[in-house]
Structure 1
Amino acid sequence: MANNKGTTCSKVQSHEMLPVQILEKGVFRFDCSVHDRNNASPSISFKNSKHRDTPITNCHVNPTYTPTFECDMGEQRVNIKLPSGTSFYGTGEVSGQLERTGKRIFTWNTDAFNYDVETTSLYQSHPWILAVLPDGKAFGVLADTTRRCEIDLTKESNIKIIAPSSYPLITFGPFSSPADVLMSFSRAVGNYGSLHLSFPVDLNIFYVST
């Protein structure tokens, strides 16, 4: 793994992100550098912000997929390459089909009166992707930021997230099914219907597991 301890996302970089396991087995937080990890803003996505910032030490596994990043002009650009044939869901309130594969979505709330199938920003913004792998397993990705994000799913089996730097990336799994990913995700951010205002999940992804 590249040594990113001095990386501050102030100039173009190309490295693997640094993982630390949090919350429970299979859940990882990734940052561009130790500096970025130590100076990240508190999470408003997690039900308990401390859970995102506290490594767990009783489980020693390595992440299956490690994101890479580049930083340029104040933007953090993250890429995660997944197996060929992966399909994508989630991404918040977006018009059109439930499956988001091939789409580019912007998490930027708008009063989208009279929207159509081409509208990619509606009333809620959730930088969350549920990836269903070709073997039936599933993988979740959360960009833990309140800033405007571009979620680019146009490249086959690849997730690209662009937002003002820097922000932690949280991954869930891969687990055996979409339902297992969503259960792990809900333990992080809270259950649907709670009063946790920053709950970063859209109802659409729950249809995947029904």
Structure 2
Amino acid sequence: MAEYEGMTVTSDVKSGNMVFEPILEEGVFRFDCSADDRNAAFPSLSFVNPKDRETPIMTTDKAPSFTPTFECVLGQQIVNLQLPAGTSFYGTGEVSGQLERTGKRVFTWNTDSWGYGPGTTSLYQSHPWVLAVLPNGETLGVLADTTKRCEIDLRQESTVKLVAPSSYPVVIFGPFPSATDVLISLSHAVGTVYMPPKWSLGYHQCRWSYDSDARVREIARTFREKGIPCDVLWMDIDYMNGFRCFTFDQACSPQ
């Protein structure tokens, strides 16, 4: 018998330490609930080369520094990774609030959050990823390799808790000496972004929205008059005809 989110469960419950195998490169481990779960897992949409997640490397005999535990209840896979006291957490994707996520609970279930505030935990992108900084300065990354709704619960002291429909692999990067090392290793798995054009790195002015092209030109002229650098002016949806994409309202169209 187990209890989860206030519900008492009398059906069979699987639990225990997750099984692991080294993948990708030194210090990176894939964890699954069992060998059967590993074989039944969906292909990775996180790895730029999905085969990297499926192929163990044979050049290391090292064991992981930390091994998560799991519990499967009502079709949910609950993963807990206990880390040393004093660990701080970052990451969790596009979420409002402070950079540090210690003590937070985030859901990778996104909405059009036009009126979001400091407590909004679902914005426009899902990244089931946690960056953990240990008390000794070493850092590790935790990736729940699932596209389904995932709860990332960092409210318990120095514990990463992941809840998503079973089954899914968890990939741990490190611990490595620094956060930079972890992110470099992560980039070997998920790839890197293209070098952006220089203009895209400047100041972008955006609001919802401008009533006319004349108002946009006025904003641009005011930036120049005040000597404020501005590379891009963004318009939201008011320029559209009936808010329909790829259309222009007559009052807003350039003359």
- TM-score class, shorter-chain normalisation, is 0.7 to 0.9
**What's the RMSD between the two structures over aligned residues?**
1.1
Q: Secondary structure at the match of 1:116?
A: coil
How far apart, CA to CA, are the structure 1 residues paired with 2:89 and 2:60? 28
Is 1:148–2:127 an aligned residue pair?
no
Is 1:117–2:115 an aligned residue pair?
no
Report what 1:104 is aligned to: 105
Report what 1:65 is aligned to: 66
- Normalising by structure 2, report the TM-score: 0.71
Contact 1:102 1:154 in 2 (8 A): yes
Contact 1:67 1:81 in 2 (8 A): yes
Report what 1:157 is aligned to: 158
Q: Secondary structure at the match of 2:106?
A: strand
For residue 175 of structure 1, report the CA deviation from its aligned partner.
Answer: 0.3
Report what 2:138 is aligned to: 137
Deviations 1:59-89 (A, max 9, x none): 1100000000000000000000001110000
Q: Structure 2 unaligned runs (5+)?
A: 1-10, 196-255
How far apart, CA to CA, are the structure 1 residues paired with 2:135 and 2:114? 37
For residue 109 of structure 1, report the CA deviation from its aligned partner.
Answer: 1.2
Q: Which amino acid aligns with 2:142?
A: V
Contact 1:11 1:73 in 2 (8 A): no
How far apart, CA to CA, are the structure 2 residues paired with 1:130 and 1:55? 23
Percent pairwise identity: 65
How far apart, CA to CA, are the structure 1 residues paired with 2:60 and 2:12? 34
Q: Which amino acid aligns with 1:58?
A: T
Deviations 1:69-112 (A, max 9, x none): 00000000000000111000000010000000000000011100
For residue 127 of structure 1, report the CA deviation from its aligned partner.
Answer: 0.1
Report what 1:24 is aligned to: 25
For residue 193 of structure 1, report the CA deviation from its aligned partner.
Answer: 3.3
Deviations 1:21-80 (A, max 9, x none): 000010000000111101111001001000000000011100000000000000000000
Q: Which amino acid aligns with 1:120?
A: T
Report what 1:46 is aligned to: 47
Q: Which amino acid aligns with 1:63?
A: P
How far apart, CA to CA, are the structure 2 residues paired with 1:188 and 1:128? 13
Q: Secondary structure at the match of 2:14?
A: coil
For residue 11 of structure 1, report the CA deviation from its aligned partner.
Answer: 3.7
Is 1:180–2:181 an aligned residue pair?
yes
Report what 2:16 is aligned to: 15
Q: Which amino acid aligns with 1:117?
A: P
For residue 177 of structure 1, report the CA deviation from its aligned partner.
Answer: 0.3
Report what 1:34 is aligned to: 35
How far apart, CA to CA, are the structure 1 residues paired with 2:93 and 2:67? 23
State which structure, 1 or 2, has the greater radius of gyration over its C-alpha atoms: 2
Q: Which amino acid aligns with 2:56?
A: P
Contact 1:148 1:163 in 2 (8 A): yes
How far apart, CA to CA, are the structure 2 residues paired with 1:13 and 1:74? 11
| Runs ≥4 residues deviating over 6 A | none
Q: Structure 1 unaligned runs (5+)?
A: 1-9, 195-210
How far apart, CA to CA, are the structure 1 residues paired with 2:193 and 2:160? 25
Contact 1:80 1:160 in 2 (8 A): yes
How far apart, CA to CA, are the structure 2 residues paired with 1:11 and 1:148? 23
For residue 12 of structure 1, report the CA deviation from its aligned partner.
Answer: 1.3
For residue 190 of structure 1, report the CA deviation from its aligned partner.
Answer: 0.2
How far apart, CA to CA, are the structure 1 residues paired with 2:167 and 2:95? 25
Question: How many residue pairs align between the two structures?
Answer: 185
